[in-house]
Amino acid sequence: MKASDAFAKFLIAHRVQTCFELVGGMITHLLDSLAESGQFSIVSMHHEQSAAFAAEGVARHTKGKTIAVAMGTSGPGATNLITGIGSCWFDSVPCLFITGQVNTRELKGDRAIRQQGFQELDIVEVVRSLTKYAVRVDRPEDLLPELHKALSAALSGRQGPVLLDIPNDIQRSDISDTLVEKWLNAPLEIHSGPEVTPVALKELEALCKDAQRPLICIGGGARWADSMDQWLSVADTLGIPYVSTLMGHERVIERSNYFNMIGSYGNREANWAVQNCDLLIVVGARLDVRQTGSDVEDFARKARIVQIDIDHAQLANRVQADLNICATAESFFEAFPLRTAVFPGLDTNWTAELSERRDQAQLNEYADWKISPSEIFKKLNHALARQPVDYVCDVGNHQMWAAQSLRLSPNHAVHYSGGMGAMGFAFPAALGIAFQSRRKVVVITGDGSLQINIQELDTLNRLGLDLTIIVMNNSVLGMVKNFQDMYFDGRDQSTRKGYSSPSFTDIAVAYGIDAHRVASATEMDSVLPLLAEHKGPLLIEIMMDGATECRPRLAFGSKLDEQFPKLNSSLTPT
């Protein structure tokens, strides 16, 4: 059997049946076999970075249970995938990356030359630090076993990206039918990860018994655990408060005892909760500088800290916890069911005080702006509360505005580029999510981010997906401009000076997509409700010239509960 045909059969046998790609000479055999199988969905993109983000979107929508393929040809096709590979690596998203390679006889090998074959590039060495498994397949008989290793690695433990680099002559070689059958019938070797030990549970139970003001923090490592929502529902019923990180916020539904997102751009009530709890249980968060602020010693200043993480290396890293537990979030939720007896000393005034803080922080922080970001998201929350929807956010002030104000209902999710923080992520990732889910997807982006992969408007029009793009156009690279205001006396090189953006409404229309421009709060009130009923591609451009702040935010060096701007004395932290 032709190796590329065996490649297609293997992926189909393991339910990997969606490929995002940009065609090139060194992947034509693979693409032809995928197409001829009749069981593969192939989506042609206009840039390999977009293909990578779209494949990531498939896994994000399915909570890491379905893998898609992102494919690029040798040389520039391979290097264009790298940002998407890094995005999957840092946010623990399983994805299969396939690159074509020049014929094995054209490889430079150990020769002290830069390149032998046209577009030859050792992509395996380039991405080794960003993948769980990366290998070049140099023999036809190794293709299927290497695929087996790669898929098993991507789905095991702390999930992540894998890459196979396949030379053109290997793709068109023959593999014996006996070998093909062997690997088609071999189940993947997927390991879920470490489980909570009885000793760790006893130590945790002792800490909980002493706690009066406990707080749970949900991180990105917990967001896809099947038991998470039910576990948090019980916490809510018992009056146990919880918060999230940016990545944890992706799947946490709004309930009465959820006090929103912590961190440098976090909600005021969430940061206050962290600083005033006496026991902080962190599930699946690495506690990086954006979550804790730079003053690590002051983080959760009154609390004993318990950190649960699948990755042992993340424990006792920046924050020295009182108890470290290396376990999957799913294992933790199953082994540690919440009940009244867990926190016998729970102070009933604790959640009441947090609720009061949350209510006080609901003020419009942007009342002095022509269009308020928080009001935009309040209206989105209302308009889409009753239907399934995935929000996908790019990187910039608009991402933080969304994270502070989006409130998820059941059947909602939001997706952020966390560790990589890649501008240009949202739109192609949303294409992958919409292609997989066939339900409404809403992109939250800015003028700078959308221009990075704007070419995929053609892909959206071709696919006709139910996808709305909301462009919060402030005609400036706002988050960096905000840094320049703080540290460079407002000098705005490359954020305003030397920067420009077009009319996205006009561009969308040119691509055959319905579009609206919003320039006032009144127009916003009439346009945003259209989202609930509209089907198909749509772009809404909200003109927010000069909107460069995120409120509240944490200045570097400040303590977590000292966000700017300060509120009046009755609201400042105690």
373-543 has the same fold as 3-184: yes
Rounded-to-integer distance, Cα 26 and Cα 397, Å: 40
3-state DSSP assignment of residue 539: strand
- What element of type H or E holds 20? strand 18-21
3-184: CATH class: alpha beta
Q: What is the CATH number of domain 373-543?
A: 3.40.50.970
Map tokens 């460079």 to a residue.
Answer: 488
In single-letter form, the type of residue at position 105 comes to R
CA-to-CA distance for 217 and 350, rounded, in angstroms?
16
Tokens of 231: 């576990």
Least Cα distance to 370 among 473, 479, 480 occurs for 473
Q: Which residues contact 388 (CB under 8 A, 6 or more apart)?
A: 411, 412, 437, 439, 440
pLDDT of residue 574: 34
Measured CA to CA, the distance from residue 184 to residue 423 in angstroms comes to 39
CA distances from 556 to 25, 110, 243, 246 (A): 49, 48, 22, 18
Query: Of how many residues is the chain composed?
Result: 574
Give pLDDT tens digits for 154-192.
999 999 999 999 999 999 999 999 999 999 999 999 999
Contact of 247 with 418, CB cutoff 8 Å = yes
In degrees, rounded to 5, the angle at the alpha carbon of residue 351 between the alpha carbons of residues 346 and 355 is 175
Which alpha helices (H) appear in 495-534, and where do they start and end?
504-510, 521-527
198 alpha carbon, distance to own chain's centre? 32
Cα angle vertex 540, ends 534, 542, to 5°?
145
Nearest-angstrom CA–CA distance, 263 and 455:
34
Among 273, 333, 280, 332, smallest CA distance to 306 is for 280
Task: Render pLDDT for 78-92 as a digit per residue (tens, 0 to 9).
Answer: 999 999 999 999 999
Q: Quote the CA–CA distance of 49 and 302 in Å, as a whole number.
A: 44
For residue 568, what pLDDT is reported? 67
Give the strands of the sheet with 161-167, arranged side by side: 41-44, 18-21, 69-72, 95-101, 161-167, 133-136
Low-confidence ranges of the chain (pLDDT < 70): 568-574
Topology of domain 198-360 in CATH is: Rossmann fold (3.40.50)
Which amino acid belongs to residue 493? Q
Of 98, 130, 83, 80, whose CA–CA distance to 26 is shortest? Answer: 98
d(CA 457, CA 431): 10
Domain edges within the chain: 3-184, 198-360, 373-543
